[in-house]
Structure 1
Amino acid sequence: MSKLSPADLERYIFSRTGAASDDLLVGAGYGEDAAAIATDEGTMVVSTDPISLAADRIGTLGVAIASNDVAACGGVPEWLVSTILLPEPDVDLLDEITAQLDAEASRLGITIIGGHTETVAGLERPLLSLTCMGPTDRYVPTSGATPGDTVILTKGAGIEATAVLATDFGADLAEAGVDSETVERAAGFFDDISVLPDSAVLAPVATAMHDPTEGGVLNGLVELACASGVRLEVDSEDVGVRPETRTLCAAMDVDPVRVLGSGALLAAVPEDDAESVLSALESEGIEATALTAVEAAADEDEVGVIYDGQHYAGSVDDDMYDLWD
């Protein structure tokens, strides 16, 4: 599984958006986490996201991932619409998923306002599709990074992947020699997947924010750079990676910067604000790292990310997907 190329997205998705609307402030675009719609009371942020692979905590992840897209645009997630597709009628599975949805939505202060549930022939595992909505006083796009800004990464790479590895691949980790205490700590990363607290600190000053998901932090950086038309140069040693993430990723032979990245928030902030923002994040108990400075691209060929000397300007495949084959 991999993301569509920017060219295919433009040709088949972004150019086919139905009727025009004067109320649409920000619509579909490469790397953008959510749309922005003008209302009588301000701006509404709307995003939708599917999830199907993480079996053990699919409901928990679904709520966090959908709401993260709203928060990554400076919105406050308030409402959620949930579509649940099951491979077969299974009340016990439905009970488990909806209990997870309810618990995580309650924890984050989000109301589930409706949705749809059915069984679908041919599915091998449950599939959720969640739409999240919330207001904002200041919409922050992915595409707003400006030369001279500082790019900040909160928490670290592979937070979501670490939690999923701990719960979906416990037997494999044990066989690889990972001790149970490390796996237990890693499973606790589910509590860190929401970026609502990160966004609350960053949104008032950020020029751009982005929620890295599939393809991890590396793909998130590429999307931010390409959406903004800028150049980023990043060294792997500067990317924050927790010890548990390094251990589990090494055991499963996946790269921490190329695996499911929810839980981190990428933000470009004016250089003069970087130090105060990092201090504010620290005071909230949120780990954060200044990765690099945003650079102007001399031409279209320079747009993207130079990571450990290699240029990336297209979607980065996620190492996790092969684990479910």
Structure 2
Amino acid sequence: MVGKLDSDDLANFVLSRTGAPDEDVLMGPKYGEDAAAIRFGDRILIASSDPLSLARERLGTLAVHVACNDVAACGGDPRWLTNVVFLPNDDPETLDVLTGQIDAEADSLGVAIVGGHSEYAPALERPMVSMTALGVADEYVPTAGADPGDRVLLTKGAGVEGTAILATDFREDLDLPAAALERAEGFFGDISVVPESAVLRERATAMHDPTEGGVLNGLVELAVASGVRIDVERSSVPVREETAAACEAMGVDPLRIFGSGALLAAVPGGEIDDALGDLRDAGIEASEIGVVTETDDPGVDLDGEVVREGVRDDLYALWE
């Protein structure tokens, strides 16, 4: 089985084992929360770690953005990175490509690489990168902050990251025009949610970066963490033309494939128009996709189907 732990194993063996208590930890490990918040003088230190191994063509690119996105989605400005690189064999060419990607993307975000570790691990079948991003914030924006009456918006569209992965890792399997494949691969340039996070953090009650399991899984994590129901109509979720074509060709659901590049945010109902206007002024696509309602049974109502548990990413079946 590839992918995240199920909720029971996560609760029993991970979230219940957090070491010594520390009064400066404002947010530690919790379901749906992708970054920690630590009191840091009069500010807050935001820290997040993520491993990647499956997107072989742009592994270094994604590793930087996935980690930095989590810091940004919690209200922080990413500033520092550490990375751990495992290679399955003595392969300087792959190391050169990975570290080149990491360097370029970190530089594009104005983020410094401050340490890490690299080694050969023959037990692995493919390279793996584990990235830790650190940043600072004035206020922590949780995943678990959505309130009944809030509106939920999504930037860019569903499956941005997944589309770029399909156009590279599975290019030979996609019977699509070359121009469409080039546009889809270009979605790697849309993976960062740092800009929209900075725009929305003053208004949002909750923000979340949907990664594994896509927009649907991101919505489930936001809803369950907040103890609410989110009502969503599939037709309201923006899906780019290239995403729709690639997903149809590979038999996967745009709402259930890797979703980095989109930001989910809950904002008070009276501020949704202003929030969308702020994003529009910043040149960022966004749409209102759902409403938060009170419930004793948290989850996502998608066109009448209630989803309460985490969603396994559709792309995993393509790699297995």
Cα distance in 1 for partners of 2:47, 2:135 equals: 7
Q: Which of 241, 261, 264 is the matching residue for 2:262?
A: 264
Tell me by how many angstroms 1:41 deviates. Answer: 3.9
- Structure 1 residue 158, shift from structure 2 partner: 0.2
Instruction: Answer yes or no: is 1:164 the counterpart of 2:159.
Output: no
How far is 1:5 from its partner? 2.4
Name the counterpart of 1:126.
127
Structure 2 equivalent of residue 278 of structure 1: 276
Q: Which residue of 2 aligns with 1:310?
A: 305
Partner of 1:54: 55
Match of 2:113 in 1: 112
Q: Counterparts of 1:315 and 1:277 in 2: how far apart (Å)?
A: 28
Shift of residue 9 of structure 1? 1.3
Structure 1, residues 267-321: CA drift from partner, whole Å, max 9, x if none? 0001111101101111111111101111000x2xx21001121111111010001
Answering whether residue 30 of structure 2 is matched by residue 29 of structure 1, we say yes
* C-alpha RMSD of the superposition: 0.8
> Does the CA contact (< 8 Å) of 1:186 and 1:244 recur in 2?
yes
CA distance in 2, matches of 1:6, 1:188: 34
Check whether the contact 1:4–1:315 (CA below 8 A) recurs between aligned residues: no
Ranges in structure 2 where 5+ consecutive residues have no aligned partner: none
1-side partners of 2:39 and 2:215: how far apart?
31
Q: After superposition, what is the alpha-carbon deviation per residue over 1:140-192, rounded to whole angstroms, capped at 9, x for unaligned?
A: 0000000001101111100000111111111111xx3x000000001110010
Q: How far apart in 1 are the matches of 2:42 and 2:185?
A: 40
Query: Secondary structure of 2:147's partner?
Result: coil
Q: In the TM superposition, what are the counterparts of 1:128-147 in structure 2 within 5 Å?
A: 128-147=129-148
Q: Which residue of 2 aligns with 1:153?
A: 154
TM-score normalised by the chain length of structure 2? 0.98
Query: d(CA) in 1 for partners of 2:34 and 2:124?
Result: 27
Residue aligned with 1:245, SS: helix
Distance in 1 between residues matched to 2:281 and 2:258, nearest whole Å: 27
Secondary structure at the counterpart of residue 267 of structure 1:
strand
Of 163-172 and 218-227, the range deviating more from structure 2: 163-172
1:206-217 aligned at under 5 Å gives the runs: 206-217=204-215
Structure-2 separation of matches of 1:2 and 1:86: 20
Give the Cα–Cα distance (whole angstroms) in 1 for the partners of residues 119 and 36 of structure 2: 27
Q: Distance between the aligned counterparts of 2:245 and 2:221, measured in 1?
A: 27
> What is the rounded CA distance, in whole Å, between the counterparts of 2:31 and 2:217 in structure 1?
12
1:67-101 CA-partner distances (Å, limit 9, x unpaired): 00000101000000000000001111100000000
- Inter-partner Cα distance in structure 1 for 2:186 and 2:3: 27
Q: Which residue of 2 aligns with 1:197?
A: 195
Give how far 1:6 is off.
2.2
Partner of 1:244: 242
2:316 to 315, 321, 324: 321
Tell me the amino acid that sits aligned with residue 290 of structure 2. T
Q: What does residue 219 of structure 1 align with?
A: 217
Equivalence map 1:70-109=2 (5 Å): 70-109=71-110
Determine the C-alpha separation between the residues in 2 that align with 1:273 and 1:189: 29
By how many angstroms is 1:11 displaced?
1.1
Q: What is the rounded CA distance, in whole Å, between the counterparts of 2:120 and 2:103 in structure 1?
A: 20
Q: Secondary structure of the residue that 1:56 maps to in structure 2?
A: coil
- Per-residue deviation at 1:4? 2.0
Query: Normalising by structure 1, what TM-score?
Result: 0.97
| Pairs aligned (count) | 319
Shift of 1:322: 1.1
**1:228 alignment counterpart:** 226
Q: Alignment partner of 2:77: what SS?
A: coil
Q: Residues of 2 paired with 1:161 and 1:42: CA distance?
A: 35
Find the residue that maps to 1:294 and give its secondary structure: strand
